[in-house]
Chain A
Amino acid sequence: MHNRRNFLKSSALAAGAFTLPTSLSVLAAGSTARVGPRRFVFIRKSNGIRPNELALPTFTDEEKSLDAKKQPMEVDLDKHELPEWLRPIDPYKANLSILQGLSCKMSENGHWSYSSVMGAYKSGRNSLSGIKRATIDFELAKLSPSPFEHVELSLTGSYSTFRTGIVSGYSAPGPHQRNYCYADPQTAYNELFKSVINPGAVDSDNAMLEFLQSEEVFKSEKLLGYEKLKLSNHISSIEAIRARNKKLEKMSDSIARHIPELNPIHAEGGPNASTPEKQKAMTDILVAALVTGLTNVVTYTIDELSTPIKGIKGNEGDHISIHELGHNGGYSGVSAEKIREKIRVGHMEQVATIVERLKATPEGKGSMFDNTVVMYFPENGEGHHSKGTEAPFVVLSGDNCKLDMAGRYIRLPHHATEGHKTIGNWYTTLLNAYGNPIEHYGDFDLEMARKKLDQLGSIKQLMA
């Protein structure tokens, strides 16, 4: 249990870090990390995951009954088969955890959750003032600094077309702040690997910063006291960004080695690219961003209700609306249920690729995956019109993961019963395990509070 004194200490550290973004300050000082960086990948999907979709087909009758009744239980995955749609990650069963029974009622539910599912608050229909705190991915990024600190990717759209360019994201770097994200593979590629594919643009950025720095230094020479300090801060902020750019330049060899090949279909936002083609390209970019060390935390909205689904196997000609699937509408005679499953299979293929590639990349005595946690979860809990009483997570974690959950199907006590855990507890677990001693992350569940049930802190059974 963390007492108030060290809680304040950690808060002060967090406040200090805000003065200069962690990544910048660490980079400016030169990283001295002794172990490989910790990596986190958050993959958000829309339309919910219905808890029974994760139930293991080989459950015993007793297990089946417990699971159906939402009673706490735990089984080893190696003794069971995975549901059909999880088969692409079957080779990684030892790294897999299926975490059931979490709730997310304190975040937005219904069709969308926006940033709230990763911040454990109500976002007031995505209003800026509703963003209450930095989302969990940004909190973890502070613990694992990198040049980009955090990268957000999304494949969303307006039902008929995909969004492209740099657009508003779903994560939040801090209260009342909305992150931006790369909405198509080409944009993500251009922005992330700029130092290699467009060194001229980086040079001109540096020239601009150098000019600005000299200008501010000149102005500050005429000032005294606190006013001088203000400009000194401005100057040191410019210096820090220049230091980051230098670091990026130094990384250009590594970036060049790992830069993915992008299919020309993604040019100009990729209007002709199918959904699986876009997903594949995003996976390539996501993996490259991690492998090159540009970032250690990626949040990827693999789909949202407005993401057009085009070109999926068996329904190649259909223009599928995820929203319509939620209302049970089928396409070309294929039922909504089946298409939902096909979409999930497509997602799992991408997850499997991420794991496979990271496992194939050596780091220390093992592979990059050893230091990685990949989380696949619904943005809005248990269904298309979710209530948030269940928020399943599919987690793949490497051998150095600080959580004790790999290889297990875990069902926690159901919502608003003794021992129940919320996404707030889950995120607290991640933070505590990786170095932030925060007492509790996120808002509390009000029904738990009404019933006077304890809901503070991490999920002890998952702490290694």
Chain B
Amino acid sequence: MINLQRMIKRPVFTVGSLFSITIMMVLPCHADKAAQPAPFQLPKGMEKLLYENCYACHDEWEQEGDIRLDQLATLEPDTRLDLFNKVQEQIYFGQMPPKKEKIQPTDAERTTMLEWFSAELKKHNASKLEDKKRMPEYANYVDHGKLFSGEYKHLKAFTPDRRWLISEFIFDAKFNRILDHRPMKTIDGQRRGVIGDNGRRANLTNPFLLPTNTGVRYYANATLNGGHLLTMLTNAKNAAVYMTDDLAKRDNSYLPSFNAIVAEEDRHRHILASREEFLSHFIEPVLVDLYKEKHNALLPQFKSVAEEAPAVRGVGKTKKAGFASANPGRTEMEIVFRSMRKHQKHCKTDEELIRKCEQDWFYFGHNLRKTQARVTFLQGYMEEWRDEIKTHKWDQRYKPRIYRSLDQAEMKVIADTIIKFRKKGDRYQTIIDQCMAHWAQKFEQERAAADPLDDALVASLVSQVFIKIHERVPTDEEAGKYLHLTKSYIKSLGNRAAVQKLIQTLILRSDFVYRAEFGQGVADDHGRHRLSPRDASYALAYAITDSSPDQELVKAVKEGRLNTREDYKRQIMRMLKKRDQYYVIDEGVQRLHHTASITNLPIRKLRFFREFFGYPKMLPIFKDNKRFGGNYDMAKGRLVGEADRLVEHILNKDKEVIETLLNTEDFFVFHSGDNKAMKASSERIRRIYEYFKDMDWQNFTVEDLAKHKEFLGEVKMRGIDVKSLVKKGRRDPARSFKTAMASFSLRFDKGESAAAPYVSFPAHGPYNASTRMGMQLRAPEVAKFFNIKLDDWNYPAAQPAKMIHRKGILTHPAWLIAHAQNTETDPVVRGKWVLEKLLAGTVPDTPITVEAVVPEDHHNTMRTRLAKVTEKKYCWTCHERMNPLGYPFEMYDDFGRYRKLESLEHPDNLLKKGPNKGAAHVDLRDIYKTLPVDSKGRLFGTGDKKLDGEVGNAIELADRLSRSSRVRQSVVRHAFRYFMGRNEFVSDSKTLIDADKAYLESGGSFDALIVSLLTSDSFIYRKPSGTSEH
């Protein structure tokens, strides 16, 4: 059963807005108690308006939606305010009275009612409308006609001064920068730096996750909450430790003042480390030298582990664990190896050798359990161990340590301390531990007695940490405050911990987690200020990438070249054209079966369409392999990755971008994005097939293969090493060859002209097509989404290539799955998406009283079942705006596969069971009874009579949508929200019209649209927060 509640997504209240609503709701209660307000009385004029327009459905006789408006005075104040908020919203969003009602208030009456309710709510500081208006879900309520009519072009656009909570992507970029995390990946055969690979060594948790809705996800409304801060507290601690104990130590230029502050401590640590290393390697010769013949008498009495902890041996026959699973680990093996090498010349038997080694470990004082594990290992695996030593040349890898004494002074200190502490019976480790503790204490006392740190040094540290974290020097005021604070930390925590605490403090400042966008300088005639150049540099950098300003932008700010519109334009165009930086598009996709999810487009440009269309939302939708008829989990990452590649391809062309995204018939299917490589891989398969097809290859032996050594060496086949054409253990080159040939024949014998470049069996190996990151190209099942049979596909090596029954991203299986349920299609969600994202339309929140589910009925299609519940009078008011736009997609199933017949998947309708296992080309689906699909629908709201009207299917719908101005403008509106981080006001009319014009005049360049938006008044000009918006 489908739950309609999921289909019609309720507005997502952002964390911040919920918080503010809570506060607003709480405040009036206190105010009321203090002021004892007068009893509520509805003004006569209002009563009349309510009587005429509302009471018909909301009085004592009828209470639609459980709402009654004829007894407001009797309600508790809080209940009344709650109700007023609902009424205010309904009037503002034009939802009440319902449009079907013949009697409607005039515009003036509507305004009167709205103003009265708003004033009442304002009186109690209880209005929730302002918060709602900020939410992305309500953006379309700003009238589209008003925005693009030109009537409001004269209004002066601006964005309020604001702090904008960082996104999950900026969080990663910030910490990657601070923690010097610069990952490299092999892309197209070259090592390149990538952004967006967040496998940092420091363990951080990203608390700034964006909502998972489709459309624009990153808005400036969100505020930091307790959960964010608590997570940031731990992050700050982990980052601080990594910065000081790792990065600063590795690179002195990282935080030079820190190294200067802890120089003495480091010097002491270095001495201690050097002494410890020396003693751990050479304590025995040192002791022999010091104590001569008395040394042996001071040693403890040797006791073997067998005496201390006898091992219990099992009885009976049992499979023995392999060497790799039984060895005690690399570090332990090195110890074992060194001891063995030392004694093996003098030992005649393994028992003697093991005992000698054990004796060493005993005298040294190694942990009994570890010694026991080494002995057990040697007793059980000596043969394999010797083989390992020989094969992997341990002799060369671990050269003997040559004794070299430290300088005279150091040797004297060591000797004196040993003599001071060594007692009879002490093991070496005990002596070392005592010496180390003694020296550490002495050094600590020395440091405590030293002069306090110089203020200038601490001030320079503050400045360096500020620059590292906030990318700026502190102001004089900040420098003073933080100097004082750091000194207090030093006093209570010591030098190293104090620096770590300073780092934590700076990471927890609000300006680390918020981006600042404030106007600066003299206001213009309209009270607007230009963004400050520094804030502008960040705003531009974060508009196009996730990273802070690059060197060019920083330089432009420094040299006063980021002030004018032209300055902005120059920088934006430069950034948009940049192709020398690679980004990971989606780490989740990257992880799924080696899909190369990378791009060199400025990432935010690609991400806009990714989020706007929302096709990555298919990833968490859990689907049944059996219903897919193959390995769905293997294929889903590739499907999303290839949708990304299509968007990237269209953006790279930058011509008629919006239209092409909606009407392209060319797609990527099982393709790396490298036409040349795909062609070569496909041709290689054909070449092998052609070479062997007329031979009796089915009966080939390894000897037969050897006759074709030269050819096989040239084409290379998985599992066939021409240098070693022998059957060994599980390796059988003849079997591998036959499996591959069987797969190739399966495809070419049916007359395929070109084969998809996949191997016949999934395995690691270099002899197949690769992704652009050099990994095996996997999951050919992705073709099944496009109704392609792998054993009957003339593989187009040059892609994107035409796919039948497809037109645009809305017919891409990834989009269709993302907008479907686990087991069924979802015409409502699909229709709502088209309405809101492409037609700038609105649909009210689902009434709280609606508990709608699509009834289970395995004798009818989804459309019929849905119609039964949604085409009732009460529901149809809203559903008529969604269903007709969603029905055309019924030509695809919930996996996005084209269909004419809908499978009535129910055990009662089962006609034939499909196989449970099979090769990639085998369809594993069960066969059920079917009914014909009705994909007729209706397009409306384009404002173009030629386009509005009945449509036969999604292909027709996509074609008309791609030709609509309204659709293009709706995308422009979403781009505005994405780049501005807020909903549009009527005063943004000029910005939107200009952006639309720039797009059109440039032949559909999305770059031109971005340039227009980011050089608009809406972006450049700011007014203090709280200024009324148009």
Q: Which residue numbers of A lie inside 8 Å of B, CB to CB?
A: 3-5, 8, 15-16, 18-21, 24-25, 106, 121-122, 124-130, 132, 159-161, 166-168, 173-180, 200, 203-204, 207-208, 211-212, 215-216, 219, 223-231, 233-234, 236-238, 240-241, 272, 274, 308, 310-311, 314-321, 323-325, 328-336, 338, 443-444, 446-447, 449-452
Contact = CB atoms under 8 A, between A and B. Distances in A.
B627 A317 contact: no
29 contacts: A4-B850, A21-B227, A24-B230, A129-B586, A130-B619, A160-B328, A176-B209, A179-B205, A208-B508, A212-B505, A216-B510, A225-B1025, A229-B23, A233-B19, A237-B230, A315-B312, A317-B309, A320-B321, A321-B325, A323-B325, A329-B320, A329-B326, A330-B314, A330-B318, A332-B313, A333-B315, A335-B316, A336-B321, A447-B626
Given A160-B328, A176-B209, A317-B372, A446 B822 contact: yes
Contacts of A311: 369
Contacts of B157: none
Nearest to B211: A175
A5 B848 CA distance: 6
B209 A310 contact: no
A126 B905 CA distance: 32
Given A446-B627, A449-B822, 9 more contacts: A20-B226, A126-B591, A212-B505, A227-B1026, A237-B228, A321-B326, A324-B321, A330-B319, A444-B822
Interface of B: 5, 10, 13, 15-16, 18-20, 22-23, 134, 160-163, 165, 168, 203, 205-207, 209, 212, 223-230, 233-234, 238, 305, 309, 311-316, 318-322, 325-332, 367, 369-370, 372-373, 375-377, 380, 481, 485, 488-489, 492-493, 497, 501, 504-505, 508-510, 514, 586-588, 591-592, 619-620, 622-624, 626-627, 633, 637, 822-823, 848-851, 856, 858, 905-907, 1024-1026
A129 B619 contact: yes
Interface-centre pick from A174, A219, A336, A446 (highest chain B CB count, 10 A): A446
Contacts of A128: 206, 587-588
B594 to A, nearest CB: 11
Interface-centre pick from B225, B226, B322, B372 (highest chain A CB count, 10 A): B226
Contacts of B587: 127-129
A446 to B, nearest CB: 4
Contacts of B505: 208, 211-212
Interface-centre pick from B228, B327, B376, B514 (highest chain A CB count, 10 A): B376
A452 B369 contact: no
Given A233-B224, A450-B624, A19 B229 contact: no
Contact of B311 (A215, A310, A317, A450): A317
A236 B168 CA distance: 22
B321 A321 contact: yes
B906 A452 contact: yes
Contact of B622 (A167, A324, A331, A446): A446
A204 B229 contact: no
A132 B311 CA distance: 47
B369 A310 contact: yes
A179 B314 CA distance: 41
B849 to A, nearest CB: 8
A2 to B, nearest CB: 11
A452 B856 contact: yes
Nearest to B593: A125
B624 A449 contact: yes
A21 B234 CA distance: 15
A22 to B, nearest CB: 10
Contact of B318 (A160, A168, A319, A335): A335
B951 to A, nearest CB: 31
B633 A122 contact: yes
B227 A333 contact: no
A241 B226 contact: yes
B823 A446 contact: yes
Contacts of B373: 310, 317-319
A127 B376 contact: no
Contact of A132 (B620, B627, B637): B620
A202 B1025 CA distance: 37
A316 B592 contact: no
A332 B311 contact: yes
Contacts of A446: 622-624, 626-627, 822-823
A321 B320 CA distance: 12
A323 B322 CA distance: 11
A18 B591 contact: no
Nearest to B330: A160
Interface-centre pick from B5, B369, B501 (highest chain A CB count, 10 A): B369
Given A129-B586, A318-B326, A177 B209 contact: yes
B205 A272 contact: no
Instruction: List 9 A-B pairs, minimum CB-CB distance, nearest first.
Output: A160-B329, A317-B376, A129-B588, A333-B314, A329-B321, A225-B1026, A334-B314, A324-B325, A446-B624
B358 to A, nearest CB: 12
A230 B223 contact: yes
A314 B376 CA distance: 12
A130 B593 CA distance: 14
Contacts of A331: 320-321, 326, 380
Contacts of B856: 452
B325 A237 contact: no
Given A124-B592, A175-B209, A330 B320 contact: yes
A204 B491 CA distance: 11
A272 B856 CA distance: 61
B137 to A, nearest CB: 14
Nearest to B305: A317
A105 to B, nearest CB: 10
Contacts of B309: 316-317
A121 B225 contact: no
Contacts of B320: 329-331
B229 A241 contact: yes
B827 to A, nearest CB: 19
Interface-centre pick from A25, A127, A310 (highest chain B CB count, 10 A): A127
A121 B376 contact: no
A20 B227 contact: yes
A447 B16 CA distance: 40
A313 to B, nearest CB: 8
A272 B165 CA distance: 46
A130 B620 contact: yes
A319 B325 CA distance: 8
A204 B489 contact: yes
Contacts of A451: 907
A318 B1025 CA distance: 68
A124 B589 CA distance: 9
A126 B588 CA distance: 9
Contacts of B858: 452
A336 B326 CA distance: 13
A212 B502 CA distance: 11
B106 to A, nearest CB: 33
A246 to B, nearest CB: 15
B25 to A, nearest CB: 11
Contacts of B907: 451-452
Nearest to A216: B510
B1025 A223 contact: yes
A19 B225 contact: yes
A335 B501 CA distance: 52
Given A317-B373, A450-B624, A178 B205 contact: yes
Contacts of B850: 4
A21 B588 CA distance: 27
B1022 to A, nearest CB: 11
Contacts of B370: 272
A180 B905 contact: no
A443 B622 contact: yes
Contacts of A211: 485, 505
Given A16-B22, A127-B592, A330-B314, A121 B620 contact: yes
Nearest to B1024: A224
A4 B822 contact: no
Given A316-B311, A446-B822, A272 B367 contact: yes
